[in-house]
Amino acid sequence: MRKRYLCAATAAVLTLSLGLLPARAADPITVITNDFESATTQGWTPRGSDLVEVSTAAAHGGSHSLLSTGRAASWEGPVLDLLTTVEAGTRYTFSAWVRMVSGSAQLRMSVERRWQGTPSYDQVAGNTDVTGSGWVQLTGSYTLANDADFLSVYVESAGATGDFYLDDFTLSYVPPTPIQDDIPSLKEVFADDFPIGAAIGRAEILGEHGRLLAKHFNSVTPGNSLKWDATEPSEGSFSFTDADALVDFAKHNNQAIRGHTLVWHQQTPAWVFNDAGGQPMTPTADNKALLLSRLDSHIRAVAGRYSGDISAWDVVNEVIDENQADGLRRSRWFEIAGLDYIRTAFRVAREVAPSAKLFINDYNTNVPSKRDKLFQLVSQLRSDGVPIDGVGHQMHGNVDWPSASETDAMLQKFVPLGVEQQITEMDISIYTNSGESFPTPPADRLARQAERYRALFDVYRQHRAHITSVTLWGLADDNTWLDTFPVTRKDAPLLFDTQLQAKSAYWAIAGTPSPTPTQSGGCRVAYTVNTWTSAPGQGGFTASLTVTNRGQDPIDGWTLRFAFGAGQTVTQGWSANWTQSGANVAATNMSWNAVIPPDQSVQIGFNGTWAGSNPNPDAFWVNNMRC
Ligand code: XIL
């Protein structure tokens, strides 16, 4: 028995990079395949006055494709009816191959949904460069989450109206993996700290998504459904269908609701800034009065409707521009109404939703120049009597940023003001610049992401006296705004993966800190472990280690060693180069954490498997010094 372990483990002397798969995703089920080899259009029709026919002049596979010609407008092109094929709540993957007949254009794939005569359009695959010299794949996904009496997928272009071919269209889905019912619920993990929330849309309240949301979160933020473009698309005509559905779900599940957002420079319809004659407003007294009266009516209708239900409102969003001497963003709001738009928004929100806490919300508030401009504005407005209760820190970060210390400084800065603080939109992109793109998230990025989540949540916990809510901007990696921002690529910024399974990032923040570390001399190692069972008597675990230099001098380059007591195996390590030989494990520094100054620590960790039992190692050595 012992020997078997040794052999298996010896084979594992390598830098481990195996992904941890808590549950295996099922194979995709393809519901439509159109290759046009039957010489029919297989249900595809023209969307406008254009023409759609089968062609043998070019093909991606076989000898036939679909040819779209005679397009008089960029929105014309081939369309396929999906109403009876697509089921609500299932996430479908779309794929089509396209090629221009000649020249070049940008093509995209979208879904049109209609309900009782009102259309809405969702992009499935964004603008993609296509030429006449090769086939290009358009692919993306879509979940039907609303009532529909018309549903179709189509390919159109951005601007140009050239002829193009389409071939090998497929529509498929992966049956949902059940969520993990046996892992700690985040709202219980943070029960003594702060409510924990997720930004949601209608897709997040259905099926397994809804179960995941209800299990872990005791706060929700409608991510788009309360914005101006959703609630008052044209003047005086309000629409609350999506917001009502989300609010009902939250109330039913005892979740707090954050309202986002009453005033923003984005997702605000053009009519808001048009003057009485329908022309873009210029900064006149009349236009200012008109704009502020529209703002007043909007807030009365939206915040008033959910008075008593919504406990916190992002009254204004992203009003700071740290590059202006006065720190104020030159939005249409500001150009026409000056600071009065902020004053009016808070005053009216307080009047119609007196029990809601009122927030000013912004991104990059960890950046000192921006933080300080925000501080200045909030101090000024509060001393003028504007009813601002709190500051919202969006906290859109990435695997390397922001640091714990600047996050700590950000929170500390606002403490003397006596305001509440909330983390309102946290996510941690796996990318560090807009040039990167990975088809699937690399293990080392997920590991760095877990460390970033851990470090930032540690800071939040230290500030729990000042933080009244922490919200993630999304529920799971299958639906994140970062898939299209700042560029189109698959991102994975949240705590649950695309199959709704807990990631290392989840374990990094859900872990229960474990007993006192062993110590003596110049080093200390704290070993924290989360263990789970996948079959009787065996399972996996995530271990987090904090290595502290307790000596007088910096440690410059280190190797940590320990031995497993029960045949455990490291399957994936992070923040160090991990090797295992038999029971012996070694972790050597990366270049970026080679130096540990006196009294400082580095945090490293790994995922492992166990069988029988999973005792903690009983001793640790750093550079052959026992800790
Ligand atoms: C994002 C939504 O998540 C997207 O679906 C939408 O297309 C654009 O807006 N800061 C904010 C949020 O305050 O409102 C933004 O939400 C993300 C950045």
The finding on whether 392 has its CB within 6 A of some atom of ligand 1 is no
Contact between 292 and 340 under an 8 Å Cβ cutoff? The reply is yes
602 alpha carbon to ligand 1 midpoint, in Å? 34
pLDDT of amino acid 604: 95
Contact between 540 and 534 under an 8 Å Cβ cutoff? The reply is yes
Tokens at 136, concatenated: 């290009």
- Phi-psi region at 532: left, alpha or beta (left = phi > 0; alpha = psi -120 to 50): beta
Q: What percent of the chain has pLDDT over 90?
A: 82
Helix (H, G, I), strand (E, B) or coil at 23: coil
pLDDT of amino acid 626: 78
Contact between 355 and 397 under an 8 Å Cβ cutoff? The reply is no
pLDDT of amino acid 164: 98
Which of 142, 143, 147 is CA-nearest to residue 117?
147
pLDDT of amino acid 627: 82
* In the predicted structure, residue 60 carries a pLDDT above the cut 80: yes
Question: Which protein residue's CA is at the shortest distance from atom 7 of ligand 1?
Answer: 481
pLDDT of amino acid 523: 87
Question: 585 - beta bridge partners?
Answer: 562, 580
pLDDT of amino acid 521: 52
206 alpha carbon to ligand 1 midpoint, in Å? 21
SS3 content of the chain, % helix, strand, coil (to 5): 25, 35, 40
Angle at CA 329, nearest 5°, toward 323 and 335?
130
Going by pLDDT thresholds of 50, 70 and 90, the confidence category of residue 3 is very low
pLDDT digits (tens, 9 = 90+) for 211-236: 999 999 999 999 999 999 999 999 99
Q: What is the amino acid identity at position 457?
A: F
**Please, is 250 exposed, middle or buried when counting C-beta atoms within 10 Å of its C-beta (0-12, 13-18, 19+)?**
buried
**Cα–Cα distance for residue pair 596/547, rounded to 1 Å:** 9
What's the 3-state SS for 550-601?
Answer: CCCCCEECCEEEEECCCCCEEEEEECCEEEEECCEEEEECCHHHCEECCCCE
Tally of CA atoms within 13 A in the half-sphere of 571 that contains its CB: 15
Tokens at 456, concatenated: 């930032």
Going by pLDDT thresholds of 50, 70 and 90, the confidence category of residue 4 is very low
Name which of 342-356, 455-469, 504-518, 559-573 the model is least confident about.
504-518
pLDDT of amino acid 7: 32
Going by pLDDT thresholds of 50, 70 and 90, the confidence category of residue 88 is confident
**Cα–Cα distance for residue pair 257/250, rounded to 1 Å:** 7
223 alpha carbon to ligand 1 midpoint, in Å? 7
* In the predicted structure, residue 16 carries a pLDDT above the cut 70: no
Contact between 156 and 107 under an 8 Å Cβ cutoff? The reply is yes
481 alpha carbon to ligand 1 midpoint, in Å? 7
- Phi-psi region at 75: left, alpha or beta (left = phi > 0; alpha = psi -120 to 50): alpha
Is the C-alpha dihedral spanning 537, 538, 540, 544 positive or negative?
A: positive
* In the predicted structure, residue 479 carries a pLDDT above the cut 70: yes
pLDDT digits (tens, 9 = 90+) for 147-202: 899 999 999 999 889 999 999 999 999 888 899 999 999 999 999 999 999 999 99
Q: Which residues are catalytic?
A: 318, 362, 425
The finding on whether 135 has its CB within 6 A of some atom of ligand 1 is no
* In the predicted structure, residue 13 carries a pLDDT above the cut 90: no
**Cα–Cα distance for residue pair 474/199, rounded to 1 Å:** 5
Kindly report the number of other CB atoms within 10 A of residue 391's CB atom. Answer: 25
Tokens at 573, concatenated: 């390590």
The finding on whether 225 has its CB within 6 A of some atom of ligand 1 is no
**Cα–Cα distance for residue pair 504/142, rounded to 1 Å:** 26
* In the predicted structure, residue 461 carries a pLDDT above the cut 90: yes
54 alpha carbon to ligand 1 midpoint, in Å? 40
**Cα–Cα distance for residue pair 388/346, rounded to 1 Å:** 7
Tally of CA atoms within 13 A in the half-sphere of 114 that contains its CB: 9
**Cα–Cα distance for residue pair 70/274, rounded to 1 Å:** 36
The finding on whether 317 has its CB within 6 A of some atom of ligand 1 is yes
Which residue among 220, 224, 265, 362 is best mutated to probe the pocket of ligand 1, counting the most ligand atoms within 8 A of its Cβ? 224
The finding on whether 474 has its CB within 6 A of some atom of ligand 1 is no
The finding on whether 577 has its CB within 6 A of some atom of ligand 1 is no
Which of 448, 443, 320, 354 is CA-nearest to residue 18?
443
480 alpha carbon to ligand 1 midpoint, in Å? 9
State how far the alpha carbon of 219 is from the alpha carbons of 187, 310, 468, in Å. Answer: 9, 10, 11
Residue burial 415-440, b: 16+ Cβ < 10 Å; e: rest? eeeebbbbbbbbbbbbbeeeeeeeee
* In the predicted structure, residue 22 carries a pLDDT above the cut 90: no
In what helix (H) or strand (E) does residue 188 lie, and over which residues does it extend?
helix 186-189
Helix (H, G, I), strand (E, B) or coil at 424: strand
Which residue among 426, 473, 475 is best mutated to probe the pocket of ligand 1, counting the most ligand atoms within 8 A of its Cβ? 473
pLDDT digits (tens, 9 = 90+) for 246-273: 999 999 999 999 999 999 999 999 999 9
Backbone angles phi, psi at 88, to 5 degrees: -65, 145
110 alpha carbon to ligand 1 midpoint, in Å? 19
The finding on whether 126 has its CB within 6 A of some atom of ligand 1 is no
* In the predicted structure, residue 8 carries a pLDDT above the cut 50: no
* Residue tagged 């109206």 (tokens): 161
pLDDT of amino acid 139: 96
Tokens at 394, concatenated: 């969006």
Question: Which protein residue's CA is at the shortest distance from atom 5 of ligand 1?
Answer: 481
pLDDT of amino acid 2: 33
Q: What is the DSSP letter of 263?
A: E
Helix (H, G, I), strand (E, B) or coil at 120: strand
**Cα–Cα distance for residue pair 262/383, rounded to 1 Å:** 22
Helix (H, G, I), strand (E, B) or coil at 156: strand
Q: State if pTM tops 0.75.
A: no
**Cα–Cα distance for residue pair 321/360, rounded to 1 Å:** 14
The finding on whether 140 has its CB within 6 A of some atom of ligand 1 is no
298 alpha carbon to ligand 1 midpoint, in Å? 20
The finding on whether 150 has its CB within 6 A of some atom of ligand 1 is no
Q: Which atom of ligand 1 is nearest to the CA of 199?
A: 3
Question: Which protein residue's CA is at the shortest distance from atom 8 of ligand 1?
Answer: 481
* In the predicted structure, residue 558 carries a pLDDT above the cut 80: yes
In what helix (H) or strand (E) does residue 366 lie, and over which residues does it extend?
none
Q: What is the amino acid identity at position 129?
A: D
**Cα–Cα distance for residue pair 234/471, rounded to 1 Å:** 30
Helix (H, G, I), strand (E, B) or coil at 482: helix
The finding on whether 402 has its CB within 6 A of some atom of ligand 1 is no
pLDDT digits (tens, 9 = 90+) for 508-557: 999 843 333 433 458 889 998 888 888 888 999 999 999 999 888 889 88
In what helix (H) or strand (E) does residue 82 lie, and over which residues does it extend?
none
Question: Which protein residue's CA is at the shortest distance from atom 15 of ligand 1?
Answer: 223
* In the predicted structure, residue 19 carries a pLDDT above the cut 50: no
The finding on whether 481 has its CB within 6 A of some atom of ligand 1 is yes
What's the 3-state SS for 489-523?
Answer: CCCCCCCECCCCCECHHHHHHHCCCCCCCEEECCE
**Cα–Cα distance for residue pair 157/166, rounded to 1 Å:** 13
Pairing of strands 357-362, 390-393: parallel
Q: What percent of the chain has pLDDT over 70?
A: 94
